[in-house]
Chain A
Amino acid sequence: ELKVEQNPLFLSMQEGKNYTIYCNYSTTSDRLYWYRQDPGKSLESLFVLLSNGAVKQEGRLMASLDTKARLSTLHITAAVHDLSATYFCAVDETGANSKLTFGKGITLSVRP
């Protein structure tokens, strides 16, 4: 059974500083997705990582995938308040017919 772990589950960030959050998964996969959810809202797609070594950047966020280590990182550069949200990674297990499995999410809070 595929397990997806995110840590930490909550992170208080100071404005202007850099941070990294992690997503680990337990079985073979070469497809990983990052989503953002604002409180009380739906999920929106941030990044789609489809191969080992994939790196995607959007604004202050950069995501990467290491399929050998079964690890994805989301790096935050110079945190700003607008980045406060919950971030989910989701993994598509190879050959499992798209039963996309989500982590429990990391809630980021940016303070002045």
Chain B
Amino acid sequence: NAGVTQTPKFQVLKTGQSMTLQCAQDMNHNSMYWYRQDPGMGLRLIYYSASEGTTDKGEVPNGYNVSRLNKREFSLRLESAAPSQTSVYFCASTRDRTISPLHFGNGTRLTVT
């Protein structure tokens, strides 16, 4: 029972490089989310997808793009990485966004030098 799977687990980028963080869930959940976690800041929502085919901005979307490829997969792309994007990124999903908690992946630790 995999749950929410994120790849890669770790990544080091140079400023200006691009990359895509992958997320897949096998729980048939409708809603998927990308958060970033920084020390002392809690989790901040980057983008979310309430259902397949829709995406919306969260609190901190600048510098990121997302794709809801299908019901299972929700990717996060950094087009031109900046040191301020050094963070731990968590993908999450939920069956019913009105009553169910989020299920989180194990996170991707990204460092931009």
Contact = CB atoms under 8 A, between A and B. Distances in A.
A99 B48 contact: yes
Instruction: Classify chain A's interface size.
Output: 20 to 34
Interface in B24-52: 31, 33, 35, 40-45, 48, 50
B48 A98 contact: yes
A25 interface: no
Interface string A85-98: 00010101000011
Contacts of A100: 33, 45, 102
Interface string A34-72: 010000011111001010000000000000000000000
Given A97-B50, A98-B50, A33 B101 contact: yes
Looking at B40, B44, B104, which has the most chain A CB atoms within 10 Å of its CB?
A: B104
A104 interface: yes
B90 A43 contact: yes
Contacts, number: 56
B8 interface: no
Interface residues of B, number: 26
B96 to A, nearest CB: 10
A37 to B, nearest CB: 9
Contact of A50 (B42, B58, B99, B102): B99
Interface string B72-113: 000000000000000000100000011111111111000000
Nearest to B103: A45
Contacts of A99: 45, 48, 58-59
A31 interface: yes
Nearest to B92: A43
A21 to B, nearest CB: 14
A97 B106 CA distance: 25
B68 to A, nearest CB: 15
A35 B43 CA distance: 11
Given A99-B45, A99-B48, A102-B43, A31 B99 contact: yes
